[in-house]
Structures are given as structure tokens and as C-alpha cells.
Structure 1
Amino acid sequence: MHNNFVFCLLLFLFSNYFFGQEVLNTKSVKKITKAEKNTSLISIDGQLDEEEWTKVLPAKDFYTLSPDNGNLESPELRTEVKVLYDNDAVYIGAILYDNHPEKILKEITERDNFGTSDSFGVFINGYNDGQQDFQFYVTAANGQADCNFTSQDGEDYSWNAIWSSKAKITDFGWVVEIKIPYAALRFPKKTEQVWGINFFREVRRTRQKYTWSPVYNNIGAFSQQAGILKGIENIEPPTRLFLIPYTSAYYNANKEDSELTLKGGLDIKYGINDAFTLDAILIPDFGQTKFDNVELNLGPFEQQFNENRPFFTEGTDLFNKGNLLYTRRIGASPQFYPDLNDNEVIEEYPKTTNLLNAIKVSGRNNDGLGIGFLNAITEETKVVIKDNASGNTREAIVAPLTNYNVTVFDQRFNQNSSVTFINTNVTRNGSYRDANVTGLVFDLNTPKNTYNLSGKINLSNTFDIENKNGIESTLALGETSGNYRFSIGGEYLSKDFDKNDLGIVFLNNYYSYYANASYRILTPTKTFNSFNIGLYTYMEHNNASNEIQNNNFSLDVNTTSKDNHYFGFGYRIKPFERYDYYEPRHEGRYLILPRLQSYWAGFSSNYNYKFAFDLQLSNLFYDQSGRYDLDIFISPRYRFSDKFSLIYSINPYIQKNNIGYIDYLSASDEIIIAQRDRHTINNALTSKFSINSRMNFNLSVRHYWSFAENNTIYALQDNGRLLEKNDYTENKNSNFSTWNLDLSYSWWFAPGSQATILYRNNAANSSNAIDKNFKTNFDQLFTDNLNHTFSISIRYFIDYNQAKNWIKKS
């Protein structure tokens, strides 16, 4: 209670201070450019030959962003940008001068991948609140990238908008022409618009970046240093209603069976008003999402996977506040396992639950209040249980009809601060577990963006056989500007804090605190383009015993040379024994872990060269005889041409005399721990061939093999130490391998419309028998369980306003 009181008092004091301060700009005068009204048809062809462009005064005089910062652009690499607008869209025309146009890099890539290419970007903040930009990039190869940038979370490239662009190389440099419909932006309904805006350019061969409005890197506030766009007046944006119907076909085959599946569905995007948008998916189809990198997991916690489903990645910055949402819970494998009688077995346990539908509403009003609402429903899922003795079968529910909900209110103020309320809820039909988590999150910055105070309080409630309440709280203070920076903070999680129904948390019942300090150069030196050295300390204690659960003291150095090669290294020490309350898998028991030291080193050569490679090495040494970890990552890459590239990686990982849980003997109440040798090797190959920026072939291959061989068996004593046990004879060795191959062709045949053809094969093998011969294991993986999938999917983007014109013409 005392900790919570202090927490709330600090929040109150800092909130009053921040709210009461007058907002100060990092510069006394911001750069201003003006948009002119367009009255004719603009063809997006990269030529800027329409008469309307000649009437616009350009925004010019760009400043260097990195590696050197704050200097005026050189005349031979100058940039000029013009802005037009009408009732449908805003138009950007940019002339990027280059005295060596033959040296302009222009690798062709798929969307949101810059590759090795020059690029131009426009950053638009319709509310001019300094906290969120919609960023649109065009590469010299005519590729597109877009992202949603927030000052708290950075860039989110999973966000995709519908816009048009064209880039063209000339004898004086290159030219970019862009049309951004208002539907891709957010701004208030006003007679006169005043937007925050910045323009960006990267000359890839020198890695030099420029911005029109200078952005000073001694201040951690990129979006607050934008310029101003004026001149847009009396616009009447059209109805924002978009329909995206899709159809897909899947042919699945393996050694035993084959199946053809046809699907169809509809995505809807509707602009409720100028600020808020509704997204809905009816009859979802995620069959072509990227495969998961499954691993042999011997630890006490589940493996966390990336979210690859577009609906749950696009424009979700509001829903990620407070770190309460792990969207892979929606549609995941069922959580409940039925009670089985003697001789009963489950014929097949499902890997997923079917998502029936999902909607999200999100946006921000003119007062800076962001509102988000996400809701998804998964269907009831059953399994068939067979009695091997009688042959009878019965059904049992393993996942009831379930509703998942997230509601967010996020108030921004002072152009750089926010306070957020968020609530997540999972309601299951019938007498199954329900859960609710409510959070308050704040991110406060001084007017000059020199100091930051952030934190959160999350309260969890689970409703099951026994109702439980828990709390999670954090508080952090840091200096965010200048060469020298620091941060201090702490965290508390109660024993019953649980957000795993819709979020993910691995540890609870602990408190921790940390202190960090770092130094960085703000301008290049004779040796380095960038240099950063940091000292980091961390301590974590169990709430009940106050014993140390974790501790860490580390030094890290990260640099970039004048030739744009990266090199980093670090040293870490855990000088105290750690009490691991999670590895034993039983409440109240713990395993004492030894002290350790480790080092790491990494190198990454300049990707501008056709041949480049990444190398990383880490080595852990334990205060335990013969125990160490060795992790090596090597990844060469070669760019054969602007169209074709290949990346290979190999990652061998050796754990010698590793210690971990393998079994529990209920009769004697003994927890069995093994000293084991674990060997892992992960091979991956990715390749792309781009016909142009709209047509791409992609190949992704991964082979993973890991085995753990138990050498010495121990019983865990009540004091956390190990006692050798000679009478345990169970084979708890692990041998797991998996194979995935995806070969796809994608064609963006119209804005927002895509056709994709995918061939996939995959296999997995798991057993207790270990054969250390690589070839034998690899061959065995393909013997009986290789699955093949061939699929075709077509998504077509329909703008209501265009469809309305089609109907009128017909």
C-alpha cells in the first residue's frame, strides 16, 4: 500500500507540473510551407509537367539528420518539394538533385522494404500535435513504404494505406510524384487546416539523411520538430468507405490425405467521421500468413510468436498501450483439456480455434483524445474422445464461445505527453474462466523534451473457481537529451497478477529496480559516424522471500564506422546466485542458479556492398564446473542485381551441462532436475526476385534441429540445491526438428488490390530418441510427415466513391 501511495503521489505532482507548463518549441520559429489549390487533373507519372506545379513555391533548404546533424544540405544534393491539394487528396512533387545520377542506388523490393535504395518521405500530422505522423516513402526504384509513427512507440510499418506514387530517374537526379487521399490521413473538420509536416531524403550510397525542418538529435523528440503546412482550406473530404472482398483456394496434401478448400469473405473500412475509422473482417482468412519459428521449448514458459495477421497488426498503436494485448491469444489453441476416463484418448487436439469475426474502431479527435475499441469472437471448439476398450466416442468442449475485447482512451497534451486508460476483457460462454485487466499508463515529458517520467498501474481480475486480483506497477525517470543520459526505475508484480487470457506475462510475484547511464556522440568524429556506450544494472527479488531472482551488471558499446560498418561488444556479469521460482513448476519451490559472466561481440558490414555479412558471438561462463553456453550467428548476403538477392543464416547454439526440470514424481513429491547437454542448429534462407516494385517472388526456408541429452539426474531439495538420484530410469531426452518452406508470388495489380500464389511445405518430428547424425535426422524429418499446401488468394480494393461513379456510368 505504501508503494502504491508514493506512486500515485509522484504521478499527481508531475502531472500538475507538466499540465501547468507552457509548451516551448525546440526552435523559436518553425519552417512553414504552403499548399496551393489544384484545379486540374494531376497524372501521377513522376514528371511534374502539369501547369499547376509551376504555381507552387517549393519547400527547400534541407538540413542533415545523420550521420552529421544540423548542417545545411550541399547544393549538388539539394531537394525541392511542392504541395497541391483538392477535395480528394494532397499531392506532393519532389525534385531530388544529384550530381551523380548514375550512382543513385535503386534496389527493387516489395512494399515496406527499403532495400539498398535512395528514398524520399513525407511525414504528415493532421492535428499538428507533435505526437503522431503518417509517413509515406517512395524509393528510387519506385517502391512504396508507409508507417504510423508515434512519439511513444516509434514506427509501425504494419500500417498500410492506399495511395499512389511514381519515381523517375533523370539526368539531374530523380523526381517523385505522390497522391495521398484524405482517407489515408486524420485531421480535424475545420475551414482552414494547419498540419505538421516534414520531408525526408536519404542518399543511400553515403547513408546521409536529410529533413526539410531540422531535427536536432540532442533532443529525443523527432515528431515535435516538424514544420508547418498551411493553405489547405474549405475541403470536403469524400465518404471514407472501402470494401475489400477476397476469394481464396487451398489445396492441402500429405502422404495420407488431400483436401481442397474454397473460401470467400469481406473486409470493411468505414470512416465514421473525420477522426474515427471502423475496420471489420467477416469470415476471416489467414491461411497465407507467415509460418511461426517453432523451437524446442524446455523452459517453464510458453514460446511467444510474432503476430502475422494483418488485421491484428495494422494501426494497433492505441491497443498496445500498457503492454496488455497479445493478439495471438485470439484464435489460439484451446486452453482447456477435458477429464478422461480409463482407456479414453483424444483423437486429435485442435491447434487453433476458429475466428468468427472481428472489428476495431480507432481514431483521435481534435482535442487529442484517442479512442480505440477492438472486439473479436471465436467459436466453440470440441474434440472427439474415444474409449479404446469399448470403441465408443463422445464429444467434449475444449474452447467455449469466447468474446475478446479491448477498450482504450488515450489523452495527449503538451505535444509530447499522454495519459491512457485501457481495459481488456475475455468472456467465455458457460462456467469457464473469465478475465479482466484494467490499466492506467502515463508518459510525461518536460516542455523541452529533456526529461521523461513514465509508468503504469494494471489491475487484473480472474473469475474461475476462485476469484483472484493482482497488480502490476512500474515507474521510470530518465534524461532524454544530450550526450549523457540516464534512467532509473522499478517494477512490482503481485503473486496473483495474471493477464494471460488476452496478454502475455511470464513472471509475477516479484519487485525489481534498475539504473542505466550512457554516453553517445551527437556528431561524427574522424573514426565513428555513431558511438554509444552504456552501463546497465538490474536487480529482481521475490516478493515473499526477498531472495534475488535475477541480477545483471553490463557494459555495452555500439558503433558505426565512417564506412558504415557496425561493430559492437559487451560484457555482462551476474555476481549473485539467483533463486529461480519458475523452473521447478511447483509453487513455493525454487532452484538456485549459479553466478555467471558473459561477453558478446557483433559485426555487420555495410549493406550497400553487393556482398555483406552479419556476425554475432556470445559466450556464457557459469560458476559451475564444465557449464557454458556458446551462441554463434553468421549470415552472409549477396545482391546479384537490383532485382535478385539472397540471404543465408546459420545459428549453432551449444549449452554444455545445462540444468533444467524434466519430471515430477507425485508419489514421493520429488521434482526431477537433469544436467544435460543441448545442441541446436538453425539454418535459414531467404531470397527475393522482383520483376518490378509491384511484382515479387519470395522464398523463405527454415530448418531447425535441437536435441537435449540428459546426463546426470538430480532430485531438487527444499533448500534449492540438487542431490544426485541414481534410481530414476525414465527417458526424458528431447529430439525435435522442423522444416518450413514458403515460395510465393505477389502482384499488386491495383492500389490496395493484391493477388498472391503460395506454395508451402512443412514437417516436424519430435521424439525421445536421439541420433546425433545430422543427415539421418534431416532425412527422417521428411519420411512420413511432409505436408504440402498450394493456395491462391485475390483481394480487391473497392472505393465507395469510385464504385458510385461506376454505377452512374453503367
Structure 2
Amino acid sequence: MGKPLLLILFFFSIIFTFDAYGQRKNLQTKSISESITIDGKLNESIWNSATVATDFLMLEPDNGRPISSEKKTDVRILYNNDAIYVAALLYDDDPKKILKEMTQRDNFGTADHFGIFINGFNDGQQDFRFFVSASGVQMDCLATEGNEDYSWDAIWDSEVSITEFGWVVEMKIPYAALRFSNAEKQTWGVNFYREIKRDRQKYTWNLIDMKIGATLPQTGQLEGIENIKPPTRLFFIPYSSFYVENSEEGTDNKFKAGMDIKYGINDSFTLDAILVPDFGQTKYDNVVLNLGPFEQQFNENRPFFTEGTDLFNKGELLYSRRIGGSPSVYLSSTDENIIASNPSSVNLINAVKVSGRTSKGLGIGVLNAVTEKTYGNFRNTQTNETTKVVVEPLTNYNILVLDQRFNQNSSVALVNTNVTRNGEFRDANVSAIVYDLNTKNNKFNLTGDFKYSYINEYGDNDNQEGINTAIQIGKKGGKWRYNAGGSYVSKKYDANDLGITFINNFHGVYTNIGYRILNPNSIFNTFKINTNYYAEFQNTTGRLQKGEINIDFNSTSRKNDYYALAVYINPLETYDFYESRVDGRYVNIPKNIYSSIYFSSNYNRKFALDITPYCTITSEKNRASYGLKIAPRYRFSNRLLMNYMIEIYNQNSDRGWVAFDNDDIIFAERDRRTLTNELGLKYAMNPKMTLNLAARHYWSYAENNQYLTLQNDGTLASNSTFTVNKNSNFSTWNFDLSYSWWFAPGSQISVLYRNNATDFRTEIDRRLGNNFKNLFDNNLNNIFSISIRYFIDYNSIKNKF
């Protein structure tokens, strides 16, 4: 990092130190010896002696407006040696209209909610947030600025009751679910939250001023906590799973057992470990027909890699699907007598992460995972001999993050990722400095990073190094917001061993300006409009890769229907350096305009509808695409909800790479048709027991009308000699029927029936019935599984012995 950048960081760290937050409310609590039963009734007389937090203020949409007397909200807090107790009286002028859809845990659904935000260090860095709906469903998350991690689940108690004046919430939050210091007298940051769903109104006790971008420091203070000690945070979560899998190859039974361990190293740091992990019941991936030059990026659905990972996402160097993902080597053979078989993934042996933040604001995160040595096979069809080949050696993945926060909303972080593979396989290392500097009122900020990558190819003297750097400065508070920035990525930058990088060897500049209303007017509850200008150039040739003018508009009407419009204009011819699959070669991309309209009706209604038409028009004759996505939903009752989505997408005269023919790069002009259907059903038997169905059918084909040869100037010339059938006809089916029961705190029984199928062929058949027949004939895989996880708190074991 050069001297100019250091001077900029120093300058912003000095000028960004003034305090502009409003007055913080104070709530006094007191210690109790009486027992409190969590039943949502507030029968204990001790509640009457507690100080009341009231006078809530609106968060959205009319920021700062006091809550009406008819919706008065009173909150009390008491504590003892084990936990804090929260009681809330939520008045409503018509309790019959309180919305109370019953959902799975961490799903807000269509219901009223009450929540408490707790910061045990009162430092504006991280909130522990606990919510409960009017139907009794719990939601909880770890919140840092701009991120809420709902994959984090704590063990706490809550009950609600609907009354003649509104509804009542009672909570018990054990200290093991929180983080705080060992100080004899403590002051915590605290805020209370209420959402009145039918009015789409959100309130907080301490005002969160929406003109100020940072929300975490805008809390009240909880005083009066004395002589409490953080408990030992040691939890064991053993599990066992049984799988029965049936396919055309036969039936296979599998039993798995393992354990998750969570240990509080001290007040601030937690160790998470998984021993013999089992991710067999995670959500399926929405696989598509991918004809482009880049891999498809999938969401992370494995709980260990989603929970508490805010620190590890600094610098965007971690794509955790690499861990246990596809092997490094893909086996293939040109001998027609040799059949290659490749494993689709690598088994994870174990994984450990340690994360937390000191009282001085230093966040430290270490994640380490080990995957096993994995083989593919070559089989000789004449001799039936099989040869094993290592496709992925024993591999260690590691990420280290040091993130220093200051002034409650600014940070500078050092990040390092490392992948070490055993034997004659490549190793990789990426390091980064990431900074996010904000004024105290969070209106102005400077963000950026400097990343350095190093690849060690075994036996290669020309080891690869590369850099990736970006900087942005802007205003993000108030009605008018704007920013400008630039980026540079060298040709050899590669973070794909533990991260994901699609393109390199470019530099770009951009600017953005936007306007929004901060309070409702006579037409809109919310209104935003943004314009963005972006230009991207290939480093080697200086040619324009992207040149966009984007306009985005979105709003919410007074009836809480949502509208959005997007227009992306590419007024100049650009050059794609990746579609050719050959370094230095490019294809010309015509001028084009993309536009979409999005409408989403108010989900408070039993029937709601999302609809999105979109299209792209180019300057080339007949080359265009258009699509339509329709997603109705119907809430039959507070327990039963149905979602459905259908999307049709057509691409006419699309042009893309299909093959190499000696030295020629072969493209095709093709018509693409894609049909996607998804169905979801949720039935909640009670707040801890749900039945869910999820089904998806995806069908996409690309029919080549003519073959073309890529010329050196990026144009495409007709090709009459290449005659190989390179059509693509791809379909997938996924069906999950699952039952989930939280039978004890932190303990769950999950039963899953899953079937899936995939079909790919080069023959194009446009009949939907035949597509289903080809997909299901001798191709369906069925899995039935039962998984039991049991939560054990060391403190409960200690007390018994």
C-alpha cells in the first residue's frame, strides 16, 4: 500500500471523528430473586416494580413520527443471575386485526412482531437481536452494520398471548445467548422493535434516524446491571442420520453420526467445530443450463458456513462452496474404449472456526477446513480393468481476518486466504487490506481494498501473481446520495481456489447518483431513483468491455404495493474477451437496451402476486430476448401458505461459443427457450413443528440455426464445414418434502423425502410431455432420510453432577 493511500486513510480517520448521533434514551433495570414463569401472561407482581420503556418512534415509513396512543407499547426488563427477562405490552385498537401467520423459525411471514436488540459491550459494533411474532414464532440474528445473520440460533424462551387490548410478549434470554464483559457494573446498548404488519409500520424505542446510515450505534442504554458473570459457553450438539437412497443402480443405506461443538473461549470469542459433518438435508441447488464461459455460482446452504460468517466475508475472498466442492481435476479420455468417471464433490473431514471481537474493537476470525483425498476412475470397457486417479488430494483451507473497528462505524481489515494441497497440485494464497471509513453521521464514506494473489503451480517456474484494487468515495445519507469510484484488476489475479473470480485484466470507473424520500407523501410510502454510469476497459488492448447507463426506480404505494422499473442502456459496441475461451481473442457485442418492470402486491392480502416482464433489444436484426416471471401466492390460513412461480425466457438469434475446430473458434447462432416452474407449500402445526414442500422443474434448450467462425476482429463469419451436433437440451427436477420438529431447546428432528432427476441430450424435442418422460425414465433418484440433533448445555450437565 503506497504513501498516497496511507495519507487518504489517515485523513479520513481524522475528519470522520465528530459525533452526530441523537440523544440516547435510558432504561433502568433491577435484580430480582423471585421466579418468573414464561407464559405470556405477566402474572408476577414483580413486573409492576420495573421501569417502563415507552414512547416508541416510527422507523418506517414515516421516520421519527411518534406512535399513536392506540398502539402504545410498554416494555420492562428484569434480571437475575442466569438471564434477563423482558415483558412487552403491545396495545392495539383492534386486536382482531393483528396478523399472526405461523411460520418456520427465523421466517417473519405475515405477522406482527416484537423484538429486542442487545449490545452487551455498548460499543455499536454488534447486536444480538431476538424477535417473536404474534403467533409465537421465534426469530434471532447476529447484526452488524448492513448485515443480519439469521442462520445464528440461540437458546431462549418466549411466549405470547392475544388479549382484549392487544397482545403480550414475555421473554427469558439466558446470558449464554449474549456477550458482555466481566465488569461489576455494566451499561448495555438496547433497543426495542415493534412491527404492525397490517399497516406496514415499524417502530423502535430509541429513534433510528434514517438520515443517518449507521443504525447499530443508535440505541438506548440499559443501566442497573450489576454483579453478573458470563457463564461457561460450552455446547455439544451430537447428531445421527440415516439415509436410504434408491436409483436405477440399486438401493443403498447409509448411517452417519457426528457432533458440532460450540465453546466460548472468553467473553468475546467463540470456537465452532464440526466433526464428521453431515449436510445431506441442505436445500438443493437451482442448477441451470450454463452455456457461458463462467461457472454457475451457488448459494451456501450449509449452516456451519453461513452462521457467524460476517467477518470472513470481508474483502469478498471467501466462496465457501469451494470447500467440499468439485475436485481440481476432471478426468476425460479420447479413447472410445476408456470410460472416465468423476466424483461430483469432495468429502469434508472437519472444519473449525474461531471468531469474535475484543473490547477495543478488534475482530479476529480464523476458519480452517480439511477435505479428504478423492479419486476418479478410468475403466477399460474391453478388459473391465479400473484405474484409480487422484482428482483432489488431501487439502487444507484456511482464512484469517483481523478487522479493527473504530468510531463505531469505520474499519480497516487484513484478510488472508490460503489453500494448501498435498502432492503435485497447486497451492494458492490471497491477501487483502479492506477499509470502510465513515463520518459519525454516516453520510459520507470512503471504501476500498487492495488484494494480492499468488498461485504456486507445482513444477512451474513462472508462478502467478496478481493484484486487484478498488476505491469509492461518496455520500450515503440524506435524500440525495452519490458516489464515484474505480477499480483495477491485473491479468494474473486469481482468487478461485477459495474465492470466486469471474473476470480479470480490466480497469473500470463509475459514478452513481440517487434521490429518495425519507418520509411518505400523498402518493408514495417510499420512493427511490438511481442512475449509474459505468465504463470498463480491457487492460491489454484498452478496448471497452462494458459501457452502461443504468436507471433504477422503485417505490411503495400508500397501499403498500411495490413497483420497480429498470433500464440499462449500452449505447456503444463492446468487446467480450471471455466467450471465446481463448486468451486475447474477443467477440463484438452489439449495442443493446435491457428493461424490466416489477410489481409486487401487498403480502398482507391472502392473495398476492409478483410479476416481472423483461426484455433486451440489440442493434442486430432479430437478436433479442424477452421473458416473463409470474409468482402468485395464497395464504389459506395462518398455518397454510402456497407459493408458485413460472418463468418463461426466450432468446432469439443468441450467439455464443460451442466448440473448437482445429485452430478455429466455432460459435453458433441459436434460439434458446427456458421454462421454470417452482412450487412451495408450508403447513405449520405449531410454532415448533412445520411441514414443507418444495418442487422445481427447469427445462432449457438451445437449438443452433447456423455455425459461425470467430474472426480476429471480433466479427463472426459463416461456417459451412463444421457439422457436429452441438444442440443442448437440459432439464432438471427437484422435489423435497420435509418435516421439522424442534422438540426441545436447540434440538431438532428432521425427516426428508427427496427425489431428483437430470437429463441432457443434443436432440431437441419441444413437447413438454416428452421432456418429462425423458427426465423421469430410468433417471429418478429417491432419498429418504431422518436426522436427529440434540442440544446439550455444559452448564445443565454440570448442575446435575
TM-score normalised to structure 2 length: 0.98
Is 1:224 aligned to residue 220 of structure 2?
Answer: no
**Which residue among 162, 168, 182 is the counterpart of 1:169?**
162
Name whichever of 375-384 and 175-184 sits farther off. 175-184
User: Does the C-alpha gap of structure 1 residues 782 and 343 become closer, same or farther in structure 2, counting only changes over 3 Å?
Assistant: closer
| Cα deviation digits, residues 93-115 of structure 1 (max 9, x gap) | 11111121111000000011111
Name whichever of 190-199 and 539-548 sits farther off. 190-199
Name whichever of 90-99 and 11-20 sits farther off. 11-20
Task: Report the Cα offset of residue 598 of structure 1.
Answer: 2.1
In the alignment, what sits opposite 1:644?
A: 640
**Which residue among 491, 496, 501 is the counterpart of 1:495?**
491
Question: What amino acid sits opposite 1:100 in the alignment?
Answer: D
Question: Could you tell me how far apart the structure 2 residues matched to 1:766 and 1:401 are?
Answer: 32
Task: Report the Cα offset of residue 87 of structure 1.
Answer: 2.3
In the alignment, what sits opposite 2:393?
A: 400
In the alignment, what sits opposite 2:732?
A: 738
Question: Could you tell me how far apart the structure 1 residues matched to 2:352 and 2:259 are?
Answer: 12
**Which residue among 13, 17, 36 is the counterpart of 1:18?**
13
In the alignment, what sits opposite 1:566?
A: 562
User: Does the C-alpha gap of structure 1 residues 335 and 214 become closer, same or farther in structure 2, counting only changes over 3 Å?
Assistant: same
| Cα deviation digits, residues 410-433 of structure 1 (max 9, x gap) | 111001101111100000011210
Is 1:653 aligned to residue 646 of structure 2?
Answer: no
In the alignment, what sits opposite 2:664?
A: 670
Question: Could you tell me how far apart the structure 2 residues matched to 1:183 and 1:469 are?
Answer: 45
Q: Secondary structure at the match of 1:498?
A: coil
Task: Report the Cα offset of residue 45 of structure 1.
Answer: 1.0
Is 1:790 aligned to residue 775 of structure 2?
Answer: no
Contact 1:87 1:237 in 2 (8 A): no
Question: Could you tell me how far apart the structure 2 residues matched to 1:682 and 1:390 are?
Answer: 44
Name whichever of 392-401 and 402-411 sits farther off. 392-401
Q: Secondary structure at the match of 1:224?
A: coil
In the alignment, what sits opposite 2:514?
A: 518
Task: Report the Cα offset of residue 54 of structure 1.
Answer: 1.9
Is 1:414 aligned to residue 407 of structure 2?
Answer: yes
Question: What amino acid sits opposite 2:200 in the alignment?
Answer: R
In the alignment, what sits opposite 1:508?
A: 504
In the alignment, what sits opposite 1:606?
A: 602
In the alignment, what sits opposite 1:109?
A: 103
Question: Could you tell me how far apart the structure 2 residues matched to 1:243 and 1:345 are?
Answer: 48
| Cα deviation digits, residues 496-519 of structure 1 (max 9, x gap) | 000000000101000011101011
In the alignment, what sits opposite 1:370?
A: 363
Question: What amino acid sits opposite 1:636 in the alignment?
Answer: P
Q: Secondary structure at the match of 2:311?
A: coil
Question: Could you tell me how far apart the structure 2 residues matched to 1:340 and 1:628 are?
Answer: 38
Task: Report the Cα offset of residue 256 of structure 1.
Answer: 3.0
User: How many residues were matched structurally?
Assistant: 798
In the alignment, what sits opposite 2:256?
A: 263
| Cα deviation digits, residues 74-101 of structure 1 (max 9, x gap) | 1110111111122222221111111211
In the alignment, what sits opposite 1:469?
A: 465
Q: Secondary structure at the match of 1:404?
A: strand
Q: Secondary structure at the match of 2:487?
A: strand
Task: Report the Cα offset of residue 177 of structure 1.
Answer: 1.0
Question: Could you tell me how far apart the structure 2 residues matched to 1:802 and 1:627 are?
Answer: 67
Q: Secondary structure at the match of 1:319?
A: helix
In the alignment, what sits opposite 1:727?
A: 721
Question: Could you tell me how far apart the structure 2 residues matched to 1:341 and 1:519 are?
Answer: 59
Contact 1:344 1:385 in 2 (8 A): no
Question: Could you tell me how far apart the structure 2 residues matched to 1:745 and 1:552 are?
Answer: 47
User: Does the C-alpha gap of structure 1 residues 158 and 12 become closer, same or farther in structure 2, counting only changes over 3 Å?
Assistant: farther
Question: Could you tell me how far apart the structure 2 residues matched to 1:673 and 1:35 are?
Answer: 71
In the alignment, what sits opposite 2:709?
A: 715
Q: Secondary structure at the match of 2:70?
A: helix
Q: Secondary structure at the match of 1:474?
A: strand
Is 1:802 aligned to residue 796 of structure 2?
Answer: yes
| Cα deviation digits, residues 537-590 of structure 1 (max 9, x gap) | 111100111100011102111010000000111222101111100000000100
1:310-709 matched pairs, under 5 angstroms? 310-338=303-331, 342=335, 345-464=338-457, 465=460, 466-666=462-662, 669-709=663-703
Question: What amino acid sits opposite 2:797 in the alignment?
Answer: A
In the alignment, what sits opposite 2:302?
A: 309
Q: Secondary structure at the match of 2:779?
A: coil
Task: Report the Cα offset of residue 631 of structure 1.
Answer: 1.7
Question: Could you tell me how far apart the structure 1 residues matched to 2:435 and 2:10 are?
Answer: 9
| Cα deviation digits, residues 312-350 of structure 1 (max 9, x gap) | 000000000000000000001211135758456345311
**Which residue among 150, 156, 172 is the counterpart of 1:179?**
172
Contact 1:15 1:444 in 2 (8 A): no
Q: Secondary structure at the match of 2:304?
A: helix
| Cα deviation digits, residues 251-303 of structure 1 (max 9, x gap) | 00023300111111111000111110010000100000000000000000000
| Cα deviation digits, residues 118-171 of structure 1 (max 9, x gap) | 0011111122222321111100000011112111x3222222222111111111
In the alignment, what sits opposite 1:9?
A: 4
In the alignment, what sits opposite 2:75?
A: 81
Contact 2:15 2:439 in 1 (8 A): no
Is 1:139 aligned to residue 133 of structure 2?
Answer: yes
Q: Secondary structure at the match of 1:232?
A: strand
User: Does the C-alpha gap of structure 1 residues 250 and 483 become closer, same or farther in structure 2, counting only changes over 3 Å?
Assistant: same
Contact 2:52 2:76 in 1 (8 A): yes
| Cα deviation digits, residues 469-493 of structure 1 (max 9, x gap) | 1111110111011111101111111
Q: Secondary structure at the match of 1:735?
A: strand
Question: Could you tell me how far apart the structure 1 residues matched to 2:24 and 2:90 are?
Answer: 23
1:766-781 matched pairs, under 5 angstroms? 766-781=760-775
Structure 2 unmatched ranges of 5 or more: none
Question: Could you tell me how far apart the structure 2 residues matched to 1:362 and 1:612 are?
Answer: 41
1:265-304 matched pairs, under 5 angstroms? 265-304=258-297
TM-score normalised to structure 1 length: 0.97
Question: Could you tell me how far apart the structure 1 residues matched to 2:329 and 2:776 are?
Answer: 32
Name whichever of 294-303 and 622-631 sits farther off. 622-631
Q: Secondary structure at the match of 1:205?
A: helix
Question: Could you tell me how far apart the structure 2 residues matched to 1:384 and 1:732 are?
Answer: 27
Question: Could you tell me how far apart the structure 2 residues matched to 1:100 and 1:89 are?
Answer: 33
Question: Could you tell me how far apart the structure 2 residues matched to 1:122 and 1:659 are?
Answer: 54
Question: Could you tell me how far apart the structure 2 residues matched to 1:715 and 1:677 are?
Answer: 18
In the alignment, what sits opposite 2:247?
A: 254
Contact 1:338 1:397 in 2 (8 A): no
Task: Report the Cα offset of residue 787 of structure 1.
Answer: 0.7
Question: What amino acid sits opposite 1:26 in the alignment?
Answer: Y
Q: Secondary structure at the match of 1:231?
A: strand
Question: Could you tell me how far apart the structure 1 residues matched to 2:524 and 2:16 are?
Answer: 38
Question: Could you tell me how far apart the structure 2 residues matched to 1:128 and 1:15 are?
Answer: 26
Question: Could you tell me how far apart the structure 2 residues matched to 1:78 and 1:213 are?
Answer: 15
Identity %: 52
| Cα deviation digits, residues 677-707 of structure 1 (max 9, x gap) | 0000000000100001100000000000000
Question: What amino acid sits opposite 2:436 in the alignment?
Answer: D
Question: Could you tell me how far apart the structure 2 residues matched to 1:441 and 1:346 are?
Answer: 47
Question: What amino acid sits opposite 2:392 in the alignment?
Answer: A
Name whichever of 251-260 and 452-461 sits farther off. 251-260
User: Does the C-alpha gap of structure 1 residues 291 and 700 become closer, same or farther in structure 2, counting only changes over 3 Å?
Assistant: same
Contact 2:529 2:553 in 1 (8 A): yes
Question: What amino acid sits opposite 1:744 in the alignment?
Answer: S
Question: Could you tell me how far apart the structure 1 residues matched to 2:246 and 2:346 are?
Answer: 21
Question: Could you tell me how far apart the structure 2 residues matched to 1:84 and 1:604 are?
Answer: 42
Name whichever of 251-260 and 16-25 sits farther off. 16-25
Question: Could you tell me how far apart the structure 1 residues matched to 2:647 and 2:577 are?
Answer: 30
Question: Could you tell me how far apart the structure 2 residues matched to 1:589 and 1:20 are?
Answer: 47
- RMSD in angstroms over aligned alpha carbons? 1.3
